[in-house]
Homo-oligomer: A and B are copies of this chain.
Amino acid sequence: MKALTLKAPGGLNNILVSDIADPGEPGPGEIRVGIGASSLNFHDLLVANGSIPTEDGRILMSDGGGTVEAIGEGVTEFKVGDSVVSCFFPQWPAGSADASVGTFANTPGDGINGMAAQFVVRHQNAFTLAPKGWTHAESATITTAGLTAWRALVVDGKVKPGDTILTLGTGGVSIAVIQIANMLGAKVIITSSSDEKLERAKKLGASEGVNYRTYAQWSDKVLELTDGKGADHVIELGGPGTLEQSIHAVRVGGHISLIGVLTGRSGEVPTALLMAKQARLQGLVVGSRRNQQDYVAALEANQIHPLIDKTFAMEELAAAFEHQTSGSHFGKICVEW
């Protein structure tokens, strides 16, 4: 079968379309899934470009949507023909994060082989059902970006109707944030360097857009838009380069979901302001399998589909990553067989 593998030491030109052994039939507790599509995240890019070292020949990609082709003995959650979506942390069933999710050792496309293959055989815990009526490409966006947004808002943030959420940029997580906020009756302020993207975000349901080229001190604009109070929740996708303003923009007693490493791994933080605001800075990495099941239920109930910027053929994965690094996208980039 075909798979997209990474030749050590990585780099987009080391992404190969390989012909590797079929994984065969599922053993006890396992399912065989025909993968239809994957979607791209910053974490996948860091593995692909070699920033996160992985072993030679690693099958890439954490996200996978597909169809169950066979089930092993004792599998109760799935039947043949079910549409499913992969889990970022197959070893995390439910509950809060602990040491077992402190690394990517069990994450497909990083510590273990990923979803950029025609077929995978995995324990049933490595997948959940996908929303009914979704394409595999749509489903694939759930694994990383969608579940990250869900956890930030619902699991950690406990957003209420009427709350104001600030999200940074118009990538896949931010777009999912708008959609989930709409489900929740919350308002969204979004930032971008492009007025055109801000307009698109408002059409999707954002209440306000702030162009951070126009307003270098965009956090002041957020305060102005919230009558001086600040946002209840900030989805901090930038990292240290934006965190100072995010702390400035959050309300007293507010919540900041710390997700991004786009601008670096470390930086100057106004700790006294974070303290004075009695705000919470919550680091998070995706979520548990049960979180994913809850998110799928929410998507089905609300009939919401993800926004896909562009879909490439799986074999063009390197080109898809180049599109991602260009920063011109709005929403998710997918690849499919």
Contact = CB atoms under 8 A, between A and B. Distances in A.
Interface of A: 93-99, 101-102, 154, 158, 160-163, 180, 183-187, 229, 239-240, 243, 251-253, 258-261, 264-285, 288, 290, 294-302
A140 B199 CA distance: 38
19 contacts: A93-B93, A93-B95, A95-B290, A98-B253, A158-B158, A160-B298, A162-B298, A162-B300, A162-B302, A184-B184, A186-B301, A239-B271, A240-B269, A265-B270, A267-B268, A275-B283, A278-B282, A278-B283, A281-B281
B281 A280 contact: yes
A161 to B, nearest CB: 4
Which 8 A-B pairs give the minimum distances between C-beta atoms? A94-B95, A162-B298, A183-B185, A162-B297, A97-B253, A161-B298, A265-B272, A102-B252
Query: Which among A276, A278, A302 has the highest number of chain B CB atoms within 10 Å?
Result: A278
A251 B266 CA distance: 19
Given A95-B94, A185-B302, A253-B98, A270 B266 contact: yes
A299 to B, nearest CB: 7
A266 B272 contact: yes
Given A298-B161, A301-B161, A261 B282 contact: no
B269 A266 contact: yes
A258 B101 CA distance: 24
In this complex, which of A99, A162, A290 has the most chain B Cβ atoms within 10 angstroms of its Cβ? A162
Given A261-B271, A266-B273, A269-B271, 18 more contacts: A98-B252, A101-B278, A154-B160, A161-B184, A162-B296, A162-B300, A258-B271, A258-B274, A265-B272, A265-B273, A266-B268, A268-B268, A269-B269, A278-B284, A279-B283, A280-B281, A280-B282, A281-B283
Given A96-B253, A278-B285, A302-B185, A243 B271 contact: yes
